Structures are given as structure tokens and as C-alpha cells.
């Protein structure tokens, strides 16, 4: 799950922008023009050894500070431009080296644009951009400690109230998902909002908007740098950035995501792991996701709490459903506890929601039984009508072994019983 402005912040944005443009430019002039179009200034003088880049928000960096250095020297860049021109003349399409880099750069372009607006004190335009109707929708826009409709006014009022109108006004960052991730925009938005539930974001006004206009879903955040409760300015260390990435990875695991981890090292198998646990890891699944799938499947077919618990027990899960506790606790076969509030979506695993589902399942089961009974009765009626029809057209078949003959015999027996009781007497006798 990429936190794109944390992988080097402005330095990383500069690196990816230079790398992308050197991959498609056919001359120094075209390269400088492309960089300028993205808000970057490029000082490339023949009298100077180095090229100097200035970012949209005023940061300065020479080409000898980009890594690997040998790829960004004047000679290396010029050689790349010559290759691009030669390929273009031959009709070979110029493209980035790797699709992954190109995809990242697409998002970086958008980030650079928003950063540029913020650096130019155009917070209103930045907010308008991330909430554009062609990129997101109302249900994918959320205000934290502010209303989405009046977020900018509320943020500016906070600054005025604490007399902190100087310096950086807003912080912008993006939380993105891999394009292979099979999740809905609503779920992506929910996970991104979980990211800012940490204590460090408490009291800050934040506008979040999840974009769906690219293959990879991603959420933009614009944060007011002045805390609405304390008046303190936003600060974040590199250590806190790393902790945020780790928290993002934990969210990936909790929600059963497969591809959106960031800088996560592969772990070797533990000798005590079962074959099922290893398979789950290989397929990107977690024990919590396995529990979630099992509970969801059992919930669909259980008609009572007792039946639900019994079915879960058969799958190897213990269930603690205490009337004195609002929560239900599931325990895996290897002793891992998990509360119903940690399963997704939590609203279908609440006690009330599960009880309602049991009731619906019960009604459905009763309806199925009634339907089967009606089908059986209808089949019998069809047989009777068919028999009557045949006998009416061919009375000679009256002694044949038709169902109607059996029914007539049953009626005769009932009539004889009635006579034994006596005409007009009480049947209860």
C-alpha cells in the first residue's frame, strides 16, 4: 500500500519525474520543456558541471545527488536522448523502461500538481481538484473534524483562531493500492480512513477523497497544518513515517489484501506452520481472512445461534457468545482469538445482525418446506385430474389400478367408520 510522498518525499518525486522524462525526451530542449510543464525548473548550462533542478515548492537538488549518479550525468542524459531520437526515427515507440515505474509516475504527476497548488497558496483549487466528479464521488469523500462541503473555510477559520496563517498551510499525501487488488472503491476508502485513526492525527482537520479514475485506487488527503483542538502545527519525523507504513501493512493483512504491501520483507516459513498456513501465506491470505470466510459461509446457512456455533465448531473454531458481552469471540484451532468487530464487514458480524440473519434463514427454511408441500399437493392433484379425465373417456378402465381407485377405497373406509359410530352421533365418541 504505497504512501507515495513518503518514499523520499519531494526528493522521490523529483527522482521519478526526471527518470520518466529522460525516458521519453529526444533532446535536452525537450527534456527541459517537459520538466517545466510539470512545474520543475532546470538549469542546464554548458559552463557548469552539474544540472540543477528546482521543485515546484522551491527545493533545489543537483543531478549528482540522484541515484545512481552515473545515470543522471550530462553525458548519460544526452546519450539517452540520442537513443530515444534514433528509436523515434526508426518508428520504435518511446516508452518507460518498466510499467511499474510508469504507473507510479502517473500518480506522481497528480501529486506534483496538487503540491504545486498548495505551494502557491491555492488550497481551494487543490481541494476542488481532489474532489472532482470525474475522479471520485460523494460517497468516497469524507471530512475528518470538518464537513466536506465547507472544509476549506473551516480550516482557514482554525488558522485564524490560533493566529497561525504563516508557513505551510496544508499537507498533502496519497494512500494507494496495487492495480491487481480486487477491492471496491468503498473498501479502499474505508481502509484509507483507518490509516488516519492513529493518535497523531487527532484534532487535525482532514479531507479525504478516493479516486477511481485510474486502474489503481488511491486516496488523497489534504490536512490542515494547524490542529483545531490544540493550535499546534503539524510535525512528522522519518520514524513516524516508517511507523505509518508499517501500520498500512497491518491494515493490508487485516483486510486480507494480497498486493498492496509497502517495503515488506518476505518471511521464511516457521517449522511449526501447518500446510494450510503455508498455503494461506503463498496465496496472500491470513488466518483472520480464513476465519472471516468461514464465519461468513456458516452465517449464510445457520438458522439459530446454536446451529451457527455447532457449524463453526465442526470447522475447528471455538465460539464464545456470552449474553453479558456485546462481542463474540472466535478462537482458531491453534488458539488465536479474534472478536467479531475485527471481521469485515463488521456490520454483518454484530450480534444483532447475526441474530437477524438467523431469523431470515429460519423463515426461508420454513418457506422452502411450505413450497415443497405445495409442490407435492399440486402433483397429487394433477394425478387425480388426469385419472378422472381418463375414466370419463373410458369407463371400462374403472377397475384398473389407477390412483383414483385407491382414493375411492379410502373414502369408503371413512364412510364405514362413520356408520359404526351411528348416524348423527358425535365424532369424538
Listed by start position, the domains of the chain span 2-97, 121-254
Higher confidence at residue 105 or residue 198?
198
Higher confidence at residue 93 or residue 389?
389
- Sign of the torsion formed by the C-alpha atoms of 264, 265, 269 and 275: positive
Q: What are the two backbone dihedrals, phi and then psi, of residue 118, each rounded to the nearest 5 degrees?
A: -65, -40
Summarize the confidence of residues 142-157 as an average pLDDT: 95
Q: What is the mean pLDDT of the chain?
A: 78
**Percent of the chain residues past pLDDT 90, beyond the cut:** 30
Is pLDDT above 60 for 349?
Answer: yes
Q: Where residue 122 falls among pLDDT bands split at 50, 70, 90? A: confident
Distances (CA, A) of 282 to 273, 276, 286, 421: 12, 10, 10, 78
Please, are residues 63 and 73 in contact by the beta-carbon 8 Å criterion?
Answer: yes
Distances (CA, A) of 376 to 373, 380, 381: 5, 6, 9
Dist CA 155 CA 106 (whole Å):
29
Q: Where residue 429 falls among pLDDT bands split at 50, 70, 90? A: very low
Nearest to 234 by CA among 169, 173, 174: 169
The helix (H) or strand (E) run that includes residue 319 is: strand 318-321
The predicted-structure confidence for 178-237, as pLDDT tens digits, reads as follows 888 888 999 999 999 999 998 999 999 999 999 998 778 999 999 999 999 999 999 887
Is pLDDT above 50 for 271?
Answer: no
Higher confidence at residue 170 or residue 181?
170
The residues pairing with 42 across neighbouring beta strands, listed in sequence order, are: 53
Higher confidence at residue 6 or residue 304?
304
Please, are residues 6 and 173 in contact by the beta-carbon 8 Å criterion?
Answer: yes
**Percent of the chain residues past pLDDT 70, beyond the cut:** 72
Nearest to 308 by CA among 316, 323, 318, 298: 298
The top-scoring range by mean pLDDT among 90-104, 328-342, 358-372 is 328-342
CATH top class, domain 121-254: alpha beta
Is pLDDT above 70 for 51?
Answer: yes
pTM metric for this prediction: 0.43
- Sign of the torsion formed by the C-alpha atoms of 368, 374, 376 and 379: negative
Summarize the confidence of residues 9-20 as an average pLDDT: 82
Amino acid at each position: 500500500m504505497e504512501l507515495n510522498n513518503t518514499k523520499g518525499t519531494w526528493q522521490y518525486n523529483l527522482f521519478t519525474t526526471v527518470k520518466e522524462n529522460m525516458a521519453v525526451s529526444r533532446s535536452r530542449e525537450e527534456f527541459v520543456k517537459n520538466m517545466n510543464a510539470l512545474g520543475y525548473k532546470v538549469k542546464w548550462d554548458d559552463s557548469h558541471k552539474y544540472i540543477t533542478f528546482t521543485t515546484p515548492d522551491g527545493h533545489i537538488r543537483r543531478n549528482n545527488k540522484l541515484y545512481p549518479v552515473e545515470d543522471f550525468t550530462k553525458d548519460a542524459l544526452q546519450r539517452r536522448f540520442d537513443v530515444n531520437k534514433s528509436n523515434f526515427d526508426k518508428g520504435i515507440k518511446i516508452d518507460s523502461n518498466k510499467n511499474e515505474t510508469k504507473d507510479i509516475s502517473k500518480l506522481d504527476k497528480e501529486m506534483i500538481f496538487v503540491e504545486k497548488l498548495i505551494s502557491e497558496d491555492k488550497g481551494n483549487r487543490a481541494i476542488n481538484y481532489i474532489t472532482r466528479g470525474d475522479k471520485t464521488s460523494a460517497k468516497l469523500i469524507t471530512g475528518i473534524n470538518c464537513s466536506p462541503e465547507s472544509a476549506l473555510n473551516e480550516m482557514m477559520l482554525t488558522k485564524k483562531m490560533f493566529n497561525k496563517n504563516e508557513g505551510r498551510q496544508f499537507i498533502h499525501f496519497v494512500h494507494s493500492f496495487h492495480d491487481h487488488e480486487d477491492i471496491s472503491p468503498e473498501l479502499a476508502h474505508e481502509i484509507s480512513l483507518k490509516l488516519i485513526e492513529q493518535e497523531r492525527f487527532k484534532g487535525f482537520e482532514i479531507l479525504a477523497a478516493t479516486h477511481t479514475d485510474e486502474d489503481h485506487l488511491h486516496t488523497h488527503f489534504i490536512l490542515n497544518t494547524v490542529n483545531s483542538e490544540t493550535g499546534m502545527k503539524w510535525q512528522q519525523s522519518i520514524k513516524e513515517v516508517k511507523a505509518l507504513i508499517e501500520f498500512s501493512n497491518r491494515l493490508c493483512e487485516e483486510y486480507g489484501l494480497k498486493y498492496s504491501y509497502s517495503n515488506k520483507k518476505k518471511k521464511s516459513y516457521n517449522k511449526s506452520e501447518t500446510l494450510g498456513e503455508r498455503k494461506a501465506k503463498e496465496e496472500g491470505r491470513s488466518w483472520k481472512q480464513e476465519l472471516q470466510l468461514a464465519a461468513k459461509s456458516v452465517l449464510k446457512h445457520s438458522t439459530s445461534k446454536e446451529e451457527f456455533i455447532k457449524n463453526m465448531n465442526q470447522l475447528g473454531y471455538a465460539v464464545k457468545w456470552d449474553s453479558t458481552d456485546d462481542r463474540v469471540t472466535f478462537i482458531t484451532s491453534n488458539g488465536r482469538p479474534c472478536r467479531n468487530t475485527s471481521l469485515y464487514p463488521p456490520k454483518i458480524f454484530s450480534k444483532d445482525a447475526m441474530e437477524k440473519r438467523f431469523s431470515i434463514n429460519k423463515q426461508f427454511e420454513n418457506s422452502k418446506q411450505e413450497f415443497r408441500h405445495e409442490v407435492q399437493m399440486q402433483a397429487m392433484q394433477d394425478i387425480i385430474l388426469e385419472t378422472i379425465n381418463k375414466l370419463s373417456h373410458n369407463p371400462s378402465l374403472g377397475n384398473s389400478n389407477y390412483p383414483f381407485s385407491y382414493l375411492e377405497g379410502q373414502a369408503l373406509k371413512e364412510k364405514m367408520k362413520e356408520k359404526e359410530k351411528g348416524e348423527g352421533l358425535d365424532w369424538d365418541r
